[in-house]
Amino acid sequence: MSNMTNPIDLNGKVAVVTGAAGGIGKAIVSTLRRHGATVIGTDIRPCADQDPDFRILDVSNTEAIKAAAAEISSTYGGLHIWVNNAGMLHRVEAREITEATWARSIDVNLRSTVFACQAAAIEMEKHGGGAIVNLSSYAGLKARPNCIDYAVAKAGVDHATKCLALEFGALGIRVNCIAPGYIDTPMSGWMHEDPALKSEYLAKTPLRRLGTPEEIAMGVLYLVSPMSSFVTGHTVVIDGGIIHA
């Protein structure tokens, strides 16, 4: 039963957030902890904050994902929330993209998400269900230049979310997706290097600004909390309205 007396209470919940060393990842970890969850952050690089609940994890290594999910579930007495936030963006024209770049992007942005969902679901089923949130991108919903590998991978994440929601629903596991627009993080650093291009994109954004990591984190909070207890298989677009431009 959902706790509707306090629909954002995550006390007693164990959560995993991948890509936790980055801007959006850090905001998600902080937000979920603030609402009572025990949060284990993971990343391929060390966490500068010396977080004792942090794990080094290469999400492109499927066996490592499975091992991490099992270890965390055993160590913390369950696994209730999993956020697939890890990702990479390598801007390159379609005429110049290499097979190696394509393969790496699909591995990190799509394949890892599917197999992390699988690993999380195996553990969540043991404890009565849970909530998974995948991070895609508005680029997976609307064509963009110079990132065909990233855009195709994120489109795959969006559709995989719907497929997994259908299969996992009977297990009490909800699977949803967030598609961010342009967020003020190091991944969008290329915009700051080209003021004219940044102005162009902001002019197309109805809210006329970049989003913040905290705004994405609040979307995650909604999708993993009792506030969304009857929501699964959906993509929440948090982009300042640029997808409609």
Note the pLDDT of residue 139: 95
Average pLDDT over residues 233-239: 98
Taking only the tens place, the pLDDT of each residue in 77-106 is 999 999 999 999 988 999 999 999 999 999
Q: Is there a domain that residue 37 lies in?
A: yes
Please determine, for residue 144, whether its predicted confidence score (pLDDT) is greater than 90.
no
Q: What is the pLDDT of residue 171?
A: 98
Confidence at 3, pLDDT banded by 50, 70, 90: low
Residues serving a catalytic function are 150
Question: Has residue 244 been placed in a domain?
Answer: no
Return the pLDDT at 198: 87
Average pLDDT, integer, range 10-25: 96
Give the model's confidence band at 1: pLDDT under 50 very low, under 70 low, under 90 confident, else very high: very low
Q: What CATH code is carried by the domain that includes residue 64?
A: 3.40.50.720
Query: Does 4 reside within a domain?
Result: no
Is 43 domain-assigned? yes
Confidence of residue 39 (pLDDT cuts 50, 70, 90): very high
Provide the pLDDT confidence category of residue 195 given band limits of 50, 70 and 90. Answer: confident
Q: Do the domain assignments include residue 220?
A: yes
Confidence of residue 4 (pLDDT cuts 50, 70, 90): low
Q: Is the predicted pLDDT of residue 35 greater than 60, yes or no? A: yes
Whose CA is closest to 15, among 93, 77, 61, 59? 77
User: Does residue 42 lie within any of the structural domains?
Assistant: yes
**In the chain, how many domains are there?**
1
- Its pTM stands at 0.94
186 in a structural domain: yes
Range(s) of the domain holding residue 73? 14-239
**226 located within any domain:** yes
